[in-house]
Amino acid sequence: MSIRRILIILLFTLLSCEQHVSKQLSQAESLLHDNPVQSLALIQTIDPQTLRQHKTQAYYALIVSAALDKNYIDVKSDSLINQAVNYYDSHHDQHHSMLAWYYEGIVLKNNHSYPSAIVAFDKADKLAEQENNQFQRGLIHRNIADIFNRTNNNVEAIRSRKKAIHFFKQADAPLYLAYAELALAIDLFNTQDLHAADSVLRSIQSKYKDHNLLLQSDLLQANILVKNNIHLEEALALYQKTPLQSQRLMHYAYRALAFDRLSQIDSAEYWFLKGYSLCRDQADSATLDYMKSKVVLAHGQPKEAYFLVDHAASVQDSLTRVLLQQSVSSAQRDYYKSETLLREEKIQSMRQRTIFGIVFGILLISLLAMSAVIRSRKKDQLLQKQMARLALEERELERVNRDNAHLVGSLFSEKIDHLDRLSDSYFKMDEGKDKELAFKQIKELVSTIRKDDNLFLSLEKDLDRYCNGIMSKLSSQVPRISGDNRRIIALFFAGYSYEIVKLILNKVSIESLKTARSRFRKEIKKSGAPDTDLFLKMLEMKKRPQAGTNENIGDC
């Protein structure tokens, strides 16, 4: 086996593997929303080291990032998703580019790179807007709201949360809408807009029956009651009926505050201690310190209350610096938007110039083409006149009535018939000058047939005319048969013997022609062409009619 053949086989194998992986990734993408666990399991069967095409590598990076996010696995390195971002941005795949920027934002958010995450989400949002993907826009603004919430920028969080709610409504995603509304109520509570938070909660409780959603709603409702210092027993009942694993630090703190206001001091201290056990950082501890300072001060302990407030203030100072950082991220986002608009204006202007150039080029090419067509028609007319004169001479010499002849009465067939007669005469003659003259005529005639492409074109046209367009169908349905193979199969369709075909093509043997006929049958069957039966029937060996008769070639 030659090296070239081996390389072709290896290349075909690699392409087949890439196509199989692409199908797996496409299937994994379809499972992302409804069955993310199965989607991730399917992706984990793929070895990324075997991927060779940039397109497949980018697709793999995108779907892996999406599957990890859907399975609540936080990824903090953006090296993988950057492959997808760079590829899809440069190949103008709007949908996958939007998803790549979205998961780039997710990774940056996980890594606490909030300014860069907002820039990535803004890019994703713009692409989602272009394809009118309301659901994806809801997810994008939900994540932006989470970023602002983490940095205590509640005003911006509420603004982004309302956008997420609007897009989830447009996308008819009720579950996502419900949790977005609950998050909005929490943000409103954090900004001390208790009336608005209570209104949103009551709307949630009237519309949704999801168990976990209602538990969270009840807890927030209890916090509002304690904050307003009303219905404290009702608030404690709400805390009591909710499982502890569903409660967070602030719920413990407000629960302790409710007990203190009901003069149940020991219970209040117990829940404050429980709250401190849940603190993850200084911010959590400062929140509890500030709330406890009010209780301590009410019990006549101003010094302890001061220390608690002082600690909370120092933490608040650090949070203020975070808010300033968030302001910088907003400025970066606005700057990016301005730069994007300017770049798009430049691109639009360039597109207009390009379109003008293309239109001008098309007009110029059309004029040149028309001129070429006119010249070509003149040449065709001249050639037709010459062919007509040649046909008259051939008819005179052959004494055959060409007007009533069908396919085998064509100019090509007449020359083959003449070759047949010369060949028969040659083999019957005794050695001598007549035999030498016959051999010379055979050589000249074969040479003429080989060089004259018009004769083969004539044969193909006649085959099309009298055999149901067979050569045109062969070109469109089995395009692999072309060039010299096309000439051979045309001669086979016309019913010529192996000996005549060998004389015309010169370089082939009888055995190679038999092999070619067998190979043509296999290629035609393998192609699955609609007219396979017609092609195979015409490839059968048949006796060719004599020139000048009214018989069709083969059984068309």
365-395 tens-digit pLDDT = 888 888 888 888 888 888 888 888 877 876 7
pLDDT above 80 for 95: yes
**Which of the pair, 106 or 298, is modelled with greater confidence?**
106
Per-residue model confidence as pLDDT tens digits over 205-227: 888 777 778 888 888 888 899 88
Asked which of 432-441, 459-468, 547-556 is least confident by mean pLDDT, the reply is: 547-556
pLDDT of residue 463: 84
pLDDT above 90 for 56: no
Query: How far is Cα 162 from Cα 23, in angstroms, rounded to an integer?
Result: 38
**Which of the pair, 214 or 399, is modelled with greater confidence?**
214
Nearest to 213 by CA among 182, 237, 188: 182
pLDDT of residue 136: 95
Asked which of 37-41, 200-204, 234-238, 316-320 is least confident by mean pLDDT, the reply is: 316-320
Query: How far is Cα 103 from Cα 128, in angstroms, rounded to an integer?
Result: 13
Query: How far is Cα 552 from Cα 463, in angstroms, rounded to an integer?
Result: 9
pLDDT of residue 129: 94
pLDDT of residue 245: 83
pLDDT of residue 500: 78
Per-residue burial over 375-391, b if 16 or more Cβ lie within 10 Å, else e, is eeeeeeeeeeeeeeeee
Model confidence, pTM: 0.54
279: which DSSP letter? -
Nearest to 252 by CA among 231, 269, 230: 269
**Which of the pair, 172 or 448, is modelled with greater confidence?**
172
pLDDT above 90 for 461: no
pLDDT of residue 507: 62
pLDDT of residue 406: 42
Query: How far is Cα 447 from Cα 306, in angstroms, rounded to an integer?
Result: 114
C-alpha distances (whole Å) from 540 to each of 520, 521, 543 are: 11, 10, 10
- Residue 380's contacts (CB-CB under 8 Å, 6 or more residues apart) are none
**Which of the pair, 344 or 121, is modelled with greater confidence?**
121
* The amino acid at 76: K
User: In degrees, to the nearest 5, what angle opens at C-alpha 423 toward C-alphas 417 and 428?
Assistant: 130
Quote the mean pLDDT of the chain: 81
pLDDT of residue 2: 58
pLDDT of residue 77: 85
441 class by beta-carbon count within 10 Å (0-12 exposed, 13-18 middle, 19+ buried): middle
**H helices of 299-432, where?**
302-398, 411-428
pLDDT of residue 144: 96
**Which of the pair, 272 or 423, is modelled with greater confidence?**
272
Mean pLDDT of 137-160: 92
Query: How far is Cα 202 from Cα 184, in angstroms, rounded to an integer?
Result: 13
Of 8-22, 498-512, 538-552, the range with the highest mean pLDDT is 498-512
Asked which of 237-246, 305-314, 404-413, 532-541 is least confident by mean pLDDT, the reply is: 404-413
pLDDT of residue 416: 61
pLDDT above 90 for 244: no
pLDDT of residue 127: 94
Residue 294 confidence class, pLDDT cut points 50, 70, 90: confident
Q: Are 27 and 46 in contact (CB under 8 A)?
A: no
* The amino acid at 61: A
pLDDT of residue 417: 62
Of 323-337, 468-482, 534-548, the range with the highest mean pLDDT is 468-482
**Which of the pair, 327 or 101, is modelled with greater confidence?**
101
Per-residue model confidence as pLDDT tens digits over 223-239: 899 889 899 999 899 88
- 385-388 CB contacts, 8 Å cutoff, 24+ apart: 387/454
Mean pLDDT of 316-334: 60
pLDDT above 90 for 85: yes
Q: Are 259 and 267 in contact (CB under 8 A)?
A: yes
Query: How far is Cα 386 from Cα 115, in angstroms, rounded to an integer?
Result: 79
Residue 400 confidence class, pLDDT cut points 50, 70, 90: very low
pLDDT above 70 for 412: no
Query: How far is Cα 130 from Cα 387, in angstroms, rounded to an integer?
Result: 61
- Residue 143's contacts (CB-CB under 8 Å, 6 or more residues apart) are 105, 106, 109, 117, 121
527 class by beta-carbon count within 10 Å (0-12 exposed, 13-18 middle, 19+ buried): middle
pLDDT above 60 for 124: yes
Residue 428 confidence class, pLDDT cut points 50, 70, 90: low
Share of the chain above pLDDT 90, in %: 20
Query: How far is Cα 179 from Cα 146, in angstroms, rounded to an integer?
Result: 12
Residue 133 confidence class, pLDDT cut points 50, 70, 90: very high
Rg (CA), the chain: 42
Max intra-chain CA distance, the chain: 144
What distance, in Å, lies between the first and last C-alpha atoms of the chain? 41
50: which DSSP letter? G
pLDDT of residue 393: 73
pLDDT of residue 106: 94
Residue 330 confidence class, pLDDT cut points 50, 70, 90: low
Share of the chain above pLDDT 70, in %: 79
Per-residue model confidence as pLDDT tens digits over 72-83: 898 888 889 999
**Which of the pair, 223 or 335, is modelled with greater confidence?**
223
Query: How far is Cα 383 from Cα 375, in angstroms, rounded to an integer?
Result: 12
Nearest to 71 by CA among 100, 47, 112, 41: 41
Query: How far is Cα 526 from Cα 520, in angstroms, rounded to an integer?
Result: 10
C-alpha distances (whole Å) from 60 to each of 14, 38, 57, 248 are: 16, 16, 5, 38
pLDDT of residue 159: 94
Query: How far is Cα 141 from Cα 340, in angstroms, rounded to an integer?
Result: 19
